[in-house]
A and B are shown apart, each in its own frame.
Chain A
Amino acid sequence: MSKPIEHDYIGLSEQPLPSMEKSSDTNDKKNGLRLKDTELRLGLPGSDSPEREDHDQNVLSLKSFVSGSKRGFSDALDGGRKWVFPGGSGGGSEGLFSPRRSGNNNGGNDLSEPDSGLDGSVSKDGAAHKPLVVQEKKSHVGNTAPASKAQVVGWPPIRSFRKNTMASHPLKSDDDDNAEAKLGSGCLYVKVSMDGAPYLRKVDLKIYGSYKELSSALEKMFSCFTIGQCGSHGVSSRDGLSESRLIDLLHGSEYVLTYEDKDGDWMLVGDVPWEMFTNSCKRLRIMKSAEAIGLAPRAMEKCKNRI
């Protein structure tokens, strides 16, 4: 069978993207569609620093999805760029999950300059990590994002009845937890995510009495995850090595523990008294240190203002 002629996926534009030719070669994994970057990650943009130079390819190849479609994708990709770290330039006290139209967006749809985001690596990864599935958030714990986020129309393919049923009556189990919390002031569940881990965990802040207890609990919880890969079973021979590695990571310089407070700001954990922290913490994130620059001063300022 002859090798098919590569058609530019972009129906409209005339010039082929250099990356399309590269990424279209499926036999060459290295030059592939940066498949690793299309893996679902929770990490902030930039959490894969060693692979940064590949991101150009990734975003440009993703562009093929964007301009090839009239709706949803460019918006979704734009939405992807909203996942920027608030501590970067452009300021504002918006939480990580609130969309922001950075001044560098060129009308929102032009992705020829991925670097036009706040921080080159940041926005590239933002786009890379969130190719097409930026959706409206409905009833997230601690989410302050307004409903302006784009949604890929009709994907995943779920009938309206099911969608509407789940939207109006969220089925998440943490709703049950919250309901119980209202009944007795028993628990305070917050989501904890870690950059590079494939899924979130939840912790009940009320069962810990101090930052130390929380910290060691989190270490145990995330010890099965190493940076980058985590198999679905989560258990591997590397466990022992990972656990100590994670502790080193948490105590060392590579990760910091941050939280989103009631105002939607991201703060370093540990700056305020424990009770104040549990009262205002809405979610936790184990961030790469590189992304946490700029947090500390604000936390202190806020603290001062409160006092």
Chain B
Amino acid sequence: MGSYSSELKRSKDSDESARRSSFPDEVLERVLSLLKSHRDRSSVSLVCKDWYNAERWSRTHVFIGNCYSVSPEIVARRFPRIRSVTLKGKPRFSDFNLVPENWGADIHAWLVVFAAKYPFLEELRLKRMAISDESLEFLAISFPNFKALSLLSCDGFSTNGLAAIATHCKNLTELDIQENGIDDKGGSWLSCFPESFTSLEVLNFANLTSDINFDALEKLVGRCKSMRVLKLNRSVSLEQLQRLLVSAPQLAELGTGSFSQELTIHEYEDLESTLSNCKNMHTLSGLWDAKGIYLPALYPACSHLTFLNLSYAALQSVELAKLLAHCPRLKRLWVLDTVEDKGLEAVGLNCPLLEELRVFPADPFDDEIVHGVTEAGFVAVSFGCPRLHYVLYFCRQMTNAAVATIVQNCPDFTHFRLCIMNPGQPDYLTNEPMDEAFGAVVKTCTKLQRLSVSGLLTDLTFEYIGRYAKNLETLSVAFAGRSDWGMQCVLGGCPKLRKLEIRDCPFGNAALLSGLEKYESMRSLWMSACNVTMNGCRLLAREMPRLNVEVMKEDGSDDSQADKVYVYRSIAGPRRDAPPSVLTL
């Protein structure tokens, strides 16, 4: 789309009145309404005033990566015709309990403005926002056309809020509740969908733990003939799954419930044949407590699978190998490290089309290594899966040589997230820092957009990143580096950097202040447990008025230390809803 924008800019140079007469606004708006990517739309809006206006009138979906970078009033003023909103709130490290509970990112103020300005709002997708039951009820009542609600990693609500949505949203097509801090008060919310309600296409309640009213669910699935995504929670048994699938063979994405009930041979056969009827299934997840003996029931359903999420199923290597033999089209695979290196070898052998691999630790907090994957597993996958471009890998040992081999086999990495779980651990064979590993990654993988580093790292890693990672947008650093120089290299070298999150590194004020201008081109910076002081933060705030500089203090820490620093650009000014523990400088 880049060349498209430059073409548009060239046309700007021609006679302005002629352009205006031959290119009416309605036509321009119609053309621009076909633009979906928000980045393209941002480029278009910068061409000239006419284009800015045309773009803003034709935009129907707005993406706000940081809810505090802009206010709901500003958004509503600029974009009058929004039907779909995506909002992200808290810094990513809140997922790991590094952000205080009442930090903010509450949706309610936004909903109030939307209710007034976008009464025909249809979709709301939230990530890391705080949302209360009252807000959910307000949402359900205020928007008669509301269709899709997606909550990922949010908190503050309970199943009562879901009940309100089910009760009032007559046109709901999507209810996607993922990995939230939800107060699960019971499964009765599902019974709140009225008997006349048939529009649901996406239902994901895998997040919830309590039993749901299965009868209500069965009826709901039975009457929603357009349902294509159904992700159940653990309380749904195999037998119940089979009954649901009988009425929904058209499902494209299935998240099973618990996969470990005692089945008779007859019940097993029923399950197998029902699953084989699901000819459209391309995504499979759930499989909680999956027992090896029942996995073969899945085999017939796996032939078209492109995404298999086994990250809640503690499979052994042999079980995985047998299953993967039936999944030749797999593009995305998530597993637990119980499959070990042998399991990953099977991945390399069976999944030549694989593009994404995530290996989660089954026992991340176990200091004694019982199982797990090593560098050997990763290398094996890289040999068999040359199209691999996204990896998230938790392991307990790694070597520089292995990573070099991996990126040689797979040079197209866009997302490389390696977590060596013991902080500051070196190459276990050579005892050297892991600098050369990440050096190889950034030198070889020119398309790299996202990088998470781990292991023992000196400033050299950051020199490499600054020098080679020209497309890097997101960098996550923990327990790494030796001096300010490391962070300075990154800030000085990565032109496309948008998000930088750092914890427990020896970077101080000099590093922080070396990125003064840079932060305005970035979405945000997070630094916690580093060497930054309050004075450094105050200086930053003073020099850069368009940045919000927020400090979160820990109990009992030194007054001069800035324990947690969150810096982000904003056109809305400093926020007014910060709790007492968050200081805005």
Contacts and interface: CB of A to CB of B under 8 A. Distances in A.
**List of 10 A-B pairs having minimum Cβ-Cβ separation, nearest first:** A154-B96, A135-B365, A4-B485, A171-B314, A9-B506, A35-B426, A161-B179, A35-B431, A232-B374, A199-B369
30 contacts: A4-B482, A4-B484, A7-B484, A29-B431, A35-B426, A35-B431, A35-B432, A38-B422, A39-B425, A40-B425, A42-B368, A68-B529, A70-B556, A70-B563, A71-B529, A132-B423, A134-B367, A154-B93, A155-B96, A156-B421, A157-B96, A159-B153, A160-B97, A162-B360, A163-B364, A166-B362, A171-B362, A198-B369, A232-B341, A232-B375
B419 A11 contact: no
A132 B425 CA distance: 11
Contacts of B291: 176
Interface stretch (B66-74, B188-196, B456-464): B456-464
B508 A11 contact: yes
A152 B423 contact: yes
A278 interface: no
Contact of A171 (B234, B338, B426): B338
Contact of B97 (A133, A138, A154, A193): A154
Interface centre among B98, B364, B503, by most chain A C-beta atoms within 10 angstroms, is B364
A68 B557 CA distance: 11
B422 A26 contact: no
Contacts of B288: 169
A132 B421 contact: no
B242 interface: no
B556 A161 contact: no
A277 interface: no
A5 interface: yes
A153 interface: yes
Interface string B88-130: 0000010111100000000000000000000000000000000
A132 B431 contact: no
B196 to A, nearest CB: 33
B422 A40 contact: yes
A10 B403 CA distance: 31
B424 to A, nearest CB: 6
Contact of A156 (B394, B397, B460, B484): B394
B506 to A, nearest CB: 4
Contacts of A307: none
Given A68-B529, A157-B419, A161-B207, 4 more contacts: A133-B421, A157-B476, A163-B364, A200-B369
A19 B261 CA distance: 57
B95 A138 contact: no
The winner among A70, A132, A136, A191 for most chain B CB atoms within 10 A is: A70
A133 B367 CA distance: 7
Contacts, number: 186
A172 B374 contact: no
A165 B312 contact: yes
Contacts of B362: 166, 171-172
Given A158-B360, A198-B369, A38 B338 contact: no
A55 to B, nearest CB: 16
Contacts of B463: 1
B453 to A, nearest CB: 12
B529 A172 contact: no
Interface string A11-31: 110000000000010100100
Contact of B561 (A11, A155, A172): A11
Interface in B358-391: 360-372, 374-376
Interface in A152-210: 152-163, 165-166, 169, 171-173, 176, 191, 193, 198-200, 202
Contacts of B365: 133, 135-138, 151
A157 B93 CA distance: 8
Contact of B506 (A36, A68, A137): A68
A191 B426 contact: no
Interface of A: 1, 4-9, 11-12, 24, 26, 29, 32-33, 35-36, 38-40, 42, 65, 68-71, 130-138, 140, 151-163, 165-166, 169, 171-173, 176, 191, 193, 198-200, 202, 231-233
Given A7-B484, A161-B179, A193 B368 contact: yes
Contact of A29 (B179, B432, B561): B432
Contacts of B289: 169
Contacts of B396: 40
A32 B368 contact: no
A71 B419 CA distance: 21
A200 B506 contact: no
Contacts of A70: 529, 554, 556-557, 561, 563
B227 interface: no
Contacts of B363: 166, 172
A4 B459 contact: yes
A172 B423 contact: no
A172 B369 contact: no
Given A35-B431, A191-B370, A173 B556 contact: no
Contacts of B361: 156, 158
A60 B365 CA distance: 25
Nearest to B99: A154
B422 A9 contact: no
Contact of B181 (A35, A68, A160): A160
Nearest to A9: B506
Contacts of B563: 70
Question: Quick one: which of B234, B289, B374, B483 has the most chain A CB within 10 A?
Answer: B483
A68 B504 CA distance: 8
A7 B483 contact: yes
Contacts of A40: 367, 369, 396-397, 422, 425
A151 B365 CA distance: 9
A42 B422 CA distance: 14
Contact of A6 (B369, B479, B483): B483
Given A36-B431, A134-B367, A232-B375, A24 B93 contact: no
B478 interface: yes
Nearest to B507: A7
A151 B336 CA distance: 22
Interface in B416-463: 419, 421-426, 428-429, 431-433, 456, 458-460, 463
Contacts of A38: 422, 424-426, 456
Contacts of A36: 431
B424 A132 contact: yes
A65 B480 CA distance: 11
Interface in B141-184: 153, 179-181
B364 A26 contact: no
Contacts of B303: none
B199 interface: no
A6 to B, nearest CB: 6
Contacts of A7: 482-484, 506, 508, 531
B215 to A, nearest CB: 25
Contacts of B375: 232
B558 interface: yes
Contacts of A137: 365-366
Interface in B239-292: 288-289, 291
A39 B428 contact: yes
A221 to B, nearest CB: 14
A222 B478 CA distance: 35
B583 to A, nearest CB: 16
Contact of A155 (B376, B423, B429): B423
A32 B530 CA distance: 22
Nearest to B485: A4
A12 B425 CA distance: 24
Nearest to B467: A1
B316 interface: yes
